[in-house]
Structure formats: structure tokens, C-alpha cells
Amino acid sequence: MEAKVLNIKGQATGRTVVLNDAIYAIEPNDHAIYLDVKLIMANRRQGTAKTKERSEMSGSTRKLGRQKGGGGARRGDINSPVLVGGARVFGPKPRNYGFKLNKKLRQLARKSALTYKAQENAIIVVEDFTFEVAKTKSMLELLKNLNIADKKALVVTPAADKAVYLSARNVKSIATSTAALLNTYSVLNADVVVLEESALPVIDANLNK
């Protein structure tokens, strides 16, 4: 599969690049995508929810009423879960929601996501660029030149580029990623994926290990 290389003005450079069929033209695996996105979202959870159990609460341990004959549920001290303000039974505790996925499966998920974008003609290859000064205006002008100003865009750079990152940070519809950190969720969450030309070999190397 070939793609035209554009410059930052949105004009064709007359060059094309070959998109690796082993990455951009596979049979997509929806279940692999589901598992990888589930893992990404699980890893974003703080997992800090916490409630107190009886042993963690302060209060008298005196038994409030007789065991039987009161006409209500049995209860012990003031911290009983039966009472308002008492402890909570089996409440949440701090935990890690992450789980393990095999490396090959995560690679398959990313390939599947990129394949879907290729099928939708939603991948744009731009020759390498950077901004001399980090300005939101520069990023918006780039997207306008590429005719995607009204779409959610993911800009993928070959390596960390502070100027590009800062230029996109204030725009909700724009996300940035380095080629090495490209993930399934960010690809699927964007309407269009803008790839710098030098990012292609990095993606190839990461997904064909």
C-alpha cells in the first residue's frame, strides 16, 4: 500500500511511501482491540477508593442492646454495619485494576487499529517538521492546510518533540504521540492519524519485533 507524502502546507511533494501491509493491511482482530483498549482504560484508573471496616473505626465497643428480644436486627457496638454511620461490609480497597496481556496480542491490536484507519483513508503522511516556537496557532494552521481542522487528529512524531506537543496541548481535538508509544486507544479515538515520515520505520520496528 502506498501513501502520498505531503508537506506542512498540505501540498503533495511528489513522493510516496510504502505502508507495510503486515501492519496497515491485515485482517483486523476486534477481540484483540477490545482487550487492549480495556487494559489501557484499566491502567488509567486510580484504584484509590477506600471505605473503613469495623476494625479501622474509632468508637466504643460496648454492646448497645441485648442479643434477642429487641425486635430488630442483632448488632454489637456503635460501629456495626447495621447502624447509620457504621462500618461498611466488603467495601472497596485500594487496588490495581491492570491485568496482563501478551506482547503479540497487543501488537495485533495496534496493527488492527491502524488497518481500520488505512481502510478509511484516515492516515496522512507528512514530511518531517517541527515548530521553531511552540504556538497553538502553528498546529491549527497545519491541520487547516491538511483539511482536517474540523476532525479529531492524532499527530505521531518519530521522537519526543516538545514544540509539537506544546502546540497541540491546548486543543482538545488534537492529541500527540511518539511512534514508540503509539497505542490502540489513541489511534481509534482519532478521526485522522497524521504520521511524520520518519515515524513509519519506528512503527514498523516496534510492531514487527
Task: Choose the weakest-confidence range: 15-24, 55-64, 116-125.
Answer: 55-64
- Coil/strand/helix, residue 77: coil
122 C-beta neighbours (distance < 10 Å), count: 19
The domains found in the chain, sorted by start residue, are 2-46+98-207 (3.40.1370.10), 51-91 (no CATH)
Look up residue 73 and give its DSSP letter.
Answer: -
Q: CA 89: distance to chain centroid?
A: 34
Kind and range of the H or E run holding 15? strand 12-18
How far is the first Cα of the chain from the last one, in angstroms, to the nearest whole number?
Answer: 21
For residue range 42-77, list pLDDT tens digits in order.
999 999 999 999 888 898 888 988 889 888 888 889
DSSP β-bridge partners for residue 196: 126
Report, in this order, helix, strand and coil percent for the chain, each rounded to 5. Answer: 35, 15, 50
Residue with cell 501540498: 11
Distance of alpha carbon 99 from alpha carbon 36, whole angstroms: 10
Query: Is 209's pLDDT higher than 80?
Result: no
* Sign, Cα dihedral of 107, 110, 115, 121: negative
The pTM for the full model equals: 0.84
